[in-house]
Every structure is written in structure tokens, then in C-alpha cells.
């Protein structure tokens, strides 16, 4: 089955620790995205990548880092510099192109900082 997987589903972290969230897709999509969603809020873009070995900051990149070494994978690291990391993290992918195409989402990771 084609799709996007994220792991883990739930993640607990102590303050001051870095943590990496996994995102893998087998849809052969060029573009991948990371969003954060807080309760009652819309999705906010953290980072995005339109091609392997290239990525751009979104609206709230501070305290986060990413890599795109493979087309299928776009891991997100939440660093200790992120002041309020507890949130629902969503990864998405889309076919890249001149026109913004629809994005498809993974099931998300709920991160809680203790």
C-alpha cells in the first residue's frame, strides 16, 4: 500500500533533550513538509523540502532541524532550543511542480515534554 508513515505515534521527552520524529513515504513524491498543530489551532509550517538535499524554513522553524538525504525520508529533530515543543506533529508529501498540488498526510506524532 502506498502512503506516509510516521513514528512513533506518541513520544514523551524530558526537557532539554533532543528528539527525532520519523517520516517515510512510498508515494514517489518529490516534496515533503512538516507541520505543527496545537489544540484549537491551524497547521503551521515548520520546514519543507521540494527535492533531495534541499529544504527551506517555514513559518516556525526556530528550534527545529531537518534533513532530506533520501527522497522517501524527511526526519524532523525537535531540539532543546524549541521552547514549547508539546504538540501534534504532522508530515505531508506532494507531487512537486509549478502549481501547488494537494498534500497527503501521515497519521502524526504526538509529542509531550514532561
Binding site for other proteins (CB under 8 A): 33, 35, 40-43, 45, 48, 50, 56, 58, 88, 90, 98-108
Cell output for 10: 506518541
Residue number with CB closer to other proteins (91 or 113): 91
Task: Report, in Å, the least distance between residue 10 CB and other proteins.
Answer: 11
- Separation of alpha carbons 91 and 6, rounded Å: 7
What is the 3-class SS of 91-109, one letter each residue? Answer: EEEECCCCCCCCCEECCCE
Residue number with CB closer to other proteins (13 or 45): 45
Backbone torsions φ then ψ of 10, nearest 5 degrees:
-125, 140
Task: Report, in Å, the least distance between residue 67 CB and other proteins.
Answer: 19
Amino acid at each position: 500500500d502506498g502512503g506516509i508513515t510516521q513514528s512513533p505515534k506518541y513520544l514523551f521527552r524530558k526537557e532539554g533533550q533532543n528528539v527525532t520524529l520519523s517520516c517515510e513515504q512510498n508515494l514517489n513524491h518529490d516534496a515533503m513538509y512538516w507541520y505543527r498543530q496545537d489544540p484549537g489551532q491551524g497547521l503551521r509550517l515548520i520546514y519543507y523540502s521540494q527535492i533531495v538535499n534541499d529544504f527551506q524554513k517555514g513559518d516556525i522553524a526556530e528550534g527545529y532541524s531537518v534533513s532530506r538525504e533520501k527522497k522517501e525520508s524527511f526526519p524532523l529533530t525537535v531540539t532543546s532550543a524549541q521552547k514549547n515543543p508539546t504538540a501534534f506533529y504532522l508530515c505531508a508529501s506532494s507531487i512537486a511542480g509549478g502549481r501547488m498540488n494537494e498534500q497527503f498526510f501521515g497519521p502524526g506524532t504526538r509529542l509531550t515534554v514532561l
